[in-house]
Amino acid sequence: MAKAVYDFIIKNGYSFNEKLEPVELFDSLIRNKFKEPLSVSYLKTLTCLARTLKEELVSKGKISLQFINSIPLRYNNNTSYNTTRRHLNVLVNYLYENNFPIERSKLKSRKQEETLHKPIDNVKKLLAKVKAFNEDLYLCCLFTYGCLLRPHQEIRLLKWEDFTSDLSHIRLSGNQVKSKRNRIVPVSLKIREILKRKEGHLNIFTGLKQPYSRSYFIQLWRRFKRLNPEVDREITLYSFRHSGAIDIFKRTGSITKLQKAMGHSSMTVSLTYLRGLEVAELKEGDMPMI
């Protein structure tokens, strides 16, 4: 008899658990999602989107598919659209999979052009100019070119504990890099000679626990360009990374090594760095033997 009653209750959608109101359920699920090991910047982005969704839920009593689609559609720039769409889908899919009343978006990604930063003709000459301007910016450029790290996150947030004891390598976990994959990067002797190790938990630029703001190197580079108008206007901090990629390929001829050095998840992305680069033509000896 008891089993029959239980089966009837379950079959008709009743529950022994107290049913949460939509806002309470939303808050509970979002809290659980944010307990996952997420990078600081990624968590900040998801928090902003979650706040937007909650405001709509509180105001309208539900989160409609039309509203969900309207968030990425605000952007005309394809990169911004794709990024927002991807992050938003992470939250919406999580809510959907945990029985929150919400529809999944069916918006497709947009094709976007890869941003190609102009290579530097004379890296040593430009580095000398940067060194005379600011030591922090100089070290940032060295890491960007010599270690192929990205300046505004991967380099800016570096701590001494990210280096091996002899400073010969940098070890970054997946939540510290764009590709979300662990990276081990060799550090050249020229860079090691400049470094003066401090306590592991300290940022290598500030000497404190806290790093500089995200705009730190952006502002330094702008000031450097204003004071050095002879530097090509199209040269950016990422031009050092692009130039380093080309140098690696010219010396090794290996796309696989280039992909690994750049920390790319796809070889297709690595190939974009070689656009316009003259690659040696195939010779008869390069062809498969019969």
Q: Give how far the C-alpha of residue 267 lies from the chain's centroid of Cα atoms, to the nearest Å.
A: 17
- pLDDT mean over 155-174: 89
Structure tokens at 208: 């404190």
Residues 6 or more apart whose CB falls under 8 angstroms from that of 206 comprise 212
The predicted model gives 39-60 an average pLDDT of: 93
> Which is higher by pLDDT, 211 or 5?
211
Mean pLDDT of the chain: 84
Q: How far apart are CA 168 and CA 228, in angstroms?
A: 33
Q: What is the dihedral of CA 99, 102, 105, 106, to 10 degrees?
A: 70
Asked whether 34 and 43 are in contact (CB, 8 A), the reply is yes
Could you tell me the domains of the chain?
7-97 (no CATH), 123-272 (1.10.443.10)
pLDDT at 106 over 80: yes
Residues 185-214 have a mean pLDDT of 90
pLDDT, one tens digit per residue, over 223-245 is 999 999 999 989 999 999 888 88
Q: What is the pTM of this model?
A: 0.60
Name which of 114-118, 122-126, 135-139, 193-197 the model is least confident about: 114-118
Beta carbons of 66 and 73 less than 8 angstroms apart: no
Q: Hey, what long-range contacts does 30-39 have (CB within 8 A, 24 or more apart)?
A: 30/54, 30/91, 32/98, 33/91, 33/94, 37/175, 38/175, 39/175, 39/176
Judge contact between 169 and 163, C-beta under 8 A: yes
- Supply 14's token pair: 């009743």
Q: Is a pLDDT exceeding 60 seen at residue 281?
A: no
Question: Looking at residue 177, what is its pLDDT?
Answer: 60
Residue 100: partners with Cβ closer than 8 Å, 6 or more residues away: 22, 25, 26, 29
Q: How confident is the model at residue 79 (pLDDT cuts 50, 70, 90)?
A: confident
Amino acid at 33: K
Residue 40 Cα to chain centre, angstroms = 11
pLDDT at 209: 92
Confidence of residue 67 (pLDDT cuts 50, 70, 90): very high
Nearest to 46 by CA among 96, 82, 92: 92
Predicted confidence (pLDDT) at residue 181 exceeds the cutoff of 70: no
